[in-house]
Protein backbone atom coordinates (compact mmCIF):
# COMPACT_ATOMS: atom_id res chain seq x y z
CA UNK A 1 0.00 0.00 0.00
CA UNK A 2 2.84 2.33 0.84
CA UNK A 3 4.37 1.82 -2.61
CA UNK A 4 1.07 2.69 -4.28
CA UNK A 5 0.88 5.90 -2.26
CA UNK A 6 4.48 6.78 -3.09
CA UNK A 7 3.69 6.21 -6.77
CA UNK A 8 0.69 8.50 -6.42
CA UNK A 9 2.90 11.16 -4.81
CA UNK A 10 5.33 11.00 -7.72
CA UNK A 11 2.57 11.07 -10.30
CA UNK A 12 0.67 13.96 -8.71
CA UNK A 13 3.90 15.91 -8.15
CA UNK A 14 4.74 15.44 -11.83
CA UNK A 15 1.29 16.64 -12.86
CA UNK A 16 1.59 19.63 -10.49
CA UNK A 17 4.99 20.50 -11.99
CA UNK A 18 3.52 20.29 -15.48
CA UNK A 19 0.66 22.61 -14.54
CA UNK A 20 3.02 24.99 -12.77
CA UNK A 21 5.74 25.23 -15.41
CA UNK A 22 4.57 23.55 -18.61
CA UNK A 23 1.17 25.14 -19.20
CA UNK A 24 1.98 28.75 -18.42
CA UNK A 25 0.38 31.40 -20.59
CA UNK A 26 0.48 35.16 -20.87
CA UNK A 27 -2.12 35.29 -18.08
CA UNK A 28 -0.04 33.23 -15.63
CA UNK A 29 1.50 36.33 -14.06
CA UNK A 30 -1.87 37.88 -13.25
CA UNK A 31 -3.43 37.63 -9.80
CA UNK A 32 -6.75 35.95 -9.20
CA UNK A 33 -8.49 39.32 -8.85
CA UNK A 34 -7.05 40.54 -12.15
CA UNK A 35 -8.26 37.38 -13.88
CA UNK A 36 -11.73 37.88 -12.39
CA UNK A 37 -11.89 41.44 -13.74
CA UNK A 38 -10.76 40.30 -17.21
CA UNK A 39 -13.25 37.42 -17.18
CA UNK A 40 -16.05 39.80 -16.23
CA UNK A 41 -15.14 42.17 -19.08
CA UNK A 42 -14.95 39.31 -21.63
CA UNK A 43 -18.33 38.00 -20.51
CA UNK A 44 -19.80 41.50 -20.80
CA UNK A 45 -18.67 41.66 -24.41
CA UNK A 46 -20.49 38.40 -25.18
CA UNK A 47 -21.14 37.84 -28.91
CA UNK A 48 -19.75 41.22 -29.92
CA UNK A 49 -16.17 40.18 -29.07
CA UNK A 50 -13.59 40.23 -31.84
CA UNK A 51 -11.53 37.18 -32.78
CA UNK A 52 -8.57 38.42 -30.70
CA UNK A 53 -10.84 38.91 -27.70
CA UNK A 54 -12.23 35.37 -28.09
CA UNK A 55 -8.69 33.97 -28.21
CA UNK A 56 -7.82 36.00 -25.11
CA UNK A 57 -10.90 34.69 -23.34
CA UNK A 58 -9.97 31.11 -24.31
CA UNK A 59 -6.47 31.65 -22.88
CA UNK A 60 -7.99 33.16 -19.74
CA UNK A 61 -10.25 30.11 -19.28
CA UNK A 62 -7.26 27.80 -19.79
CA UNK A 63 -5.37 29.74 -17.13
CA UNK A 64 -8.25 29.36 -14.68
CA UNK A 65 -8.40 25.59 -15.39
CA UNK A 66 -4.62 25.35 -15.02
CA UNK A 67 -4.76 26.97 -11.59
CA UNK A 68 -7.62 24.72 -10.46
CA UNK A 69 -5.79 21.61 -11.67
CA UNK A 70 -2.57 22.79 -10.00
CA UNK A 71 -4.35 23.13 -6.65
CA UNK A 72 -6.00 19.73 -7.11
CA UNK A 73 -2.75 17.96 -8.00
CA UNK A 74 -0.82 19.60 -5.14
CA UNK A 75 -3.58 18.63 -2.70
CA UNK A 76 -3.53 15.06 -3.98
CA UNK A 77 0.26 14.99 -3.68
CA UNK A 78 0.14 16.18 -0.07
CA UNK A 79 -2.60 13.73 0.90
CA UNK A 80 -0.78 10.82 -0.74
CA UNK A 81 2.47 11.83 0.98
CA UNK A 82 0.72 11.92 4.35
CA UNK A 83 -0.86 8.57 3.61
CA UNK A 84 2.52 7.09 2.68
CA UNK A 85 4.02 8.40 5.91
CA UNK A 86 1.26 7.27 8.23
CA UNK A 87 0.09 4.06 6.57
CA UNK A 88 0.76 1.03 8.70
CA UNK A 89 2.95 -1.58 7.13
CA UNK A 90 2.93 -5.25 7.95
CA UNK A 91 2.61 -5.71 11.70
CA UNK A 92 4.79 -8.79 11.74
CA UNK A 93 8.35 -8.70 10.49
CA UNK A 94 9.12 -11.12 7.70
CA UNK A 95 10.80 -14.16 9.15
CA UNK A 96 13.54 -15.65 7.12
CA UNK A 97 14.71 -19.19 7.53
CA UNK A 98 11.20 -20.51 8.08
CA UNK A 99 9.53 -23.00 5.83
CA UNK A 100 6.45 -21.95 3.89
CA UNK A 101 4.26 -23.89 6.32
CA UNK A 102 5.87 -22.19 9.33
CA UNK A 103 5.39 -18.78 7.69
CA UNK A 104 1.69 -19.53 7.06
CA UNK A 105 1.28 -20.67 10.66
CA UNK A 106 3.00 -17.52 11.93
CA UNK A 107 0.79 -15.38 9.72
CA UNK A 108 -2.35 -17.11 11.01
CA UNK A 109 -1.44 -17.46 14.68
CA UNK A 110 0.89 -14.52 15.27
CA UNK A 111 4.44 -14.37 16.50
CA UNK A 112 5.10 -17.35 18.78
CA UNK A 113 7.52 -15.27 20.89
CA UNK A 114 4.79 -12.74 21.62
CA UNK A 115 2.37 -15.53 22.55
CA UNK A 116 4.99 -17.07 24.84
CA UNK A 117 5.67 -13.72 26.50
CA UNK A 118 1.93 -13.27 27.05
CA UNK A 119 1.67 -16.74 28.56
CA UNK A 120 4.62 -15.99 30.85
CA UNK A 121 3.01 -12.74 31.98
CA UNK A 122 -0.21 -14.61 32.74
CA UNK A 123 1.72 -17.30 34.64
CA UNK A 124 3.56 -14.66 36.67
CA UNK A 125 0.28 -12.97 37.55
CA UNK A 126 -1.20 -16.30 38.65
CA UNK A 127 1.73 -16.85 41.00
CA UNK A 128 1.84 -13.21 42.08
CA UNK A 129 5.40 -12.55 40.91
CA UNK A 130 7.10 -10.58 38.14
CA UNK A 131 7.79 -12.48 34.87
CA UNK A 132 11.55 -12.09 35.40
CA UNK A 133 11.49 -12.99 39.12
CA UNK A 134 14.39 -15.11 40.38
CA UNK A 135 13.91 -18.86 40.70
CA UNK A 136 13.80 -18.71 44.50
CA UNK A 137 10.96 -16.15 44.43
CA UNK A 138 8.96 -18.23 41.93
CA UNK A 139 9.43 -21.37 44.05
CA UNK A 140 8.46 -19.55 47.25
CA UNK A 141 5.34 -18.09 45.61
CA UNK A 142 4.38 -21.55 44.35
CA UNK A 143 4.88 -23.09 47.80
CA UNK A 144 2.68 -20.43 49.41
CA UNK A 145 -0.06 -20.92 46.81
CA UNK A 146 0.07 -24.71 47.11
CA UNK A 147 -0.02 -24.49 50.91
CA UNK A 148 -3.38 -22.68 50.63
CA UNK A 149 -4.61 -25.47 48.38
CA UNK A 150 -3.37 -28.46 50.41
CA UNK A 151 -5.27 -31.63 49.38
CA UNK A 152 -5.29 -32.85 53.03
CA UNK A 153 -7.45 -29.84 53.96
CA UNK A 154 -10.04 -30.75 51.33
CA UNK A 155 -11.25 -33.99 52.87
CA UNK A 156 -14.98 -33.95 53.38
CA UNK A 157 -15.61 -31.28 50.74
CA UNK A 158 -17.71 -31.87 47.65
CA UNK A 159 -15.94 -33.70 44.82
CA UNK A 160 -16.44 -30.70 42.52
CA UNK A 161 -14.55 -28.45 44.94
CA UNK A 162 -11.78 -31.01 45.32
CA UNK A 163 -11.48 -31.24 41.52
CA UNK A 164 -11.38 -27.43 41.27
CA UNK A 165 -8.55 -27.18 43.79
CA UNK A 166 -6.65 -29.97 42.04
CA UNK A 167 -7.00 -28.10 38.73
CA UNK A 168 -5.76 -24.92 40.41
CA UNK A 169 -2.73 -26.76 41.76
CA UNK A 170 -2.00 -28.13 38.30
CA UNK A 171 -2.24 -24.62 36.80
CA UNK A 172 0.11 -23.24 39.46
CA UNK A 173 2.67 -25.95 38.72
CA UNK A 174 2.40 -25.27 34.98
CA UNK A 175 2.86 -21.57 35.65
CA UNK A 176 6.02 -22.27 37.62
CA UNK A 177 7.33 -24.55 34.89
CA UNK A 178 6.68 -21.92 32.24
CA UNK A 179 8.43 -19.18 34.21
CA UNK A 180 11.45 -21.33 34.97
CA UNK A 181 11.66 -22.79 31.46
CA UNK A 182 13.33 -19.61 30.12
CA UNK A 183 16.15 -19.98 32.64
CA UNK A 184 16.71 -23.61 31.63
CA UNK A 185 16.52 -22.86 27.89
CA UNK A 186 18.57 -19.64 28.04
**Each residue's pLDDT tens digit, 107-141:** 777 777 777 788 888 988 988 899 888 999 999 99
Claim to verify: residue 118 and residue 66 sit in the same structural domain: no
Claim to verify: residue 127 and residue 71 sit in the same structural domain: no
Mean pLDDT for all residues in the chain: 84
Q: Judge whether 106 lies within some domain.
A: no
Residues 6+ apart with CB under 8 A from 173: 142
Claim to verify: residue 74 and residue 10 sit in the same structural domain: yes
Does the model's pTM come out above 0.75? no
Claim to verify: residue 9 and residue 75 sit in the same structural domain: yes
Q: Judge whether 101 lies within some domain.
A: no
Q: Judge whether 46 lies within some domain.
A: yes
Q: Judge whether 171 lies within some domain.
A: yes
How sure is the predictor about 93, in pLDDT bands with cuts at 50, 70 and 90? low
Could you list the residue range(s) of the whole structural domain that residue 154 is in? 111-185
CB atoms within 10 A of CB 26: 10
Q: Is 87 left (phi over 0), alpha (psi -120 to 50) or beta?
A: beta
CB atoms within 10 A of CB 162: 14
Cα(22)–Cα(16) distance, integer angstroms = 9
φ/ψ (deg, to 5) at 95: -105, 120
What total number of domains does the chain contain? 2
* Confidence at residue 78, expressed as pLDDT on a 0 to 100 scale: 92
Whether residue 27 has pLDDT greater than 70 = yes
Claim to verify: residue 77 and residue 147 sit in the same structural domain: no
Q: Give the model confidence (pLDDT) of 159-179 as tens digits.
A: 888 888 889 999 999 999 988
Whether residue 89 has pLDDT greater than 80 = no
Claim to verify: residue 79 and residue 119 sit in the same structural domain: no
Q: Are 116 and 106 in contact (CB under 8 A)?
A: no
Amino acid sequence: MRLVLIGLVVLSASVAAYFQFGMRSSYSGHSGNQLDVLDHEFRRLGDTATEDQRVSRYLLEREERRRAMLVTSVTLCVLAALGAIFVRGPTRPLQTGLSAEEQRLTAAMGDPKAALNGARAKAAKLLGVMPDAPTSVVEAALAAQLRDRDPNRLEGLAPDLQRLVKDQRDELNKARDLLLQRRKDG
